[in-house]
Amino acid sequence: MVRGATSARAQTIGLTDEDFAMTTKIQTVLLTGKAHTTASRRESSPRGDERIDIQLSTPGNAGNEIAFTAIQMHPTAEQLFAGAWSACYTGALGLAAKAKKVALPSDLSVDIEVDLGKTGDEYFIRARFDVRMPGVAQEVAEAIAHAAHQICPYSKAVHGNIDVVVNVITA
């Protein structure tokens, strides 16, 4: 974008880009949806703690499941979005690692928190990722995490629309 120009989105609500950027920061978090996703073989055991575990599969990869663990019963839209995004993103991590010829650890996990918040009368969402790749070199893990966002349709859909922070943990 040309400096000083006003984007269509900012114009729609009558703000300059600078003012719009300041208003998209959440001032008050109303609720947070969380998802913990692991790439795993099917492991089923009842939790018994009013949370559900959802098993999904990655298209074209029979036998490799994506597990949502410890999601509260009657999940919120933010939890469902976090869960769907984390499942898709976990699959994208596998594709990115394969392209870089890197084996992902069996204890790979992705935690996503999606906040619903408010600034003035406007509502916004933002997301935080904790990507755990134990045993993978930090620089390599960060490159895989970045590449996965270029692959994942959810990441592409929100790119530039919400704040997303990614923390890569290799220890």
pLDDT at 79: 85
> Does 20 map to a domain?
no
pLDDT at 77: 85
Are the C-beta atoms of residues 111 and 130 closer than 8 Å to each other?
Answer: yes
Domain assignment of residue 113, given as a range: 26-169
> Does 17 map to a domain?
no
> Does 149 map to a domain?
yes
Instruction: Give me the number of domains the chain comprises.
Output: 1
> Does 131 map to a domain?
yes
> Does 12 map to a domain?
no
Please list the alpha-helical segments (H only) found in the chain.
8-12, 17-23, 77-99, 138-151, 153-158
pLDDT at 62: 54
> Does 21 map to a domain?
no
pLDDT at 34: 87
> Does 11 map to a domain?
no
Q: Which residues of the chain have a pLDDT value below 50?
A: 1-15, 20, 22-23, 41-52, 57-58
> Does 70 map to a domain?
yes
pLDDT at 130: 95
pTM of the model: 0.70
**Any idea what the CATH number is for the domain that residue 99 is in?**
3.30.300.20
Are the C-beta atoms of residues 94 and 104 closer than 8 Å to each other?
Answer: yes
Which two tokens mark 170? 């290799």
